[in-house]
Amino acid sequence: MPSPTLSKQALLLVSLLLGGCSISPSLVLFGAAFPDWLFCIVGGILGVTIIHLFLGLYNAHERFSPLALSYPALTSLLVTLLWLAVFHQ
């Protein structure tokens, strides 16, 4: 049987961790609220697609090999930069 102090500590920890969930940053678009990270992910994927097309024009894909590692890393970089530039207050 758990001790009463352990239960109080667990309750305190859970309440502190769930305190960040009280405000959800979102944008209202066409009457529905979408989280801002969703727009950042779409923007990051579009950015990597444009970079991929430019690399194909100049035949420079070899510089980013292996592509299975570099493209997800580039996507996460673009997503983070987009969030910092547009949505971070």
C-alpha–C-alpha distance, residues 71 and 89, integer Å: 28
C-alpha–C-alpha distance, residues 56 and 18, integer Å: 46
Q: How confident is the model at residue 24 (pLDDT cuts 50, 70, 90)?
A: low
Quick check: pTM over 0.75? no
C-alpha–C-alpha distance, residues 83 and 27, integer Å: 13
Give 2 or 33, the one with higher predicted confidence: 33
Q: Where are the domains of the chain?
A: 25-87
Q: What is the pLDDT of residues 37-64, one digit of tens each?
A: 888 999 999 999 999 999 999 988 888 8
Q: Pick the closest to residue 35 from 45, 20, 25 (CA basis).
A: 25
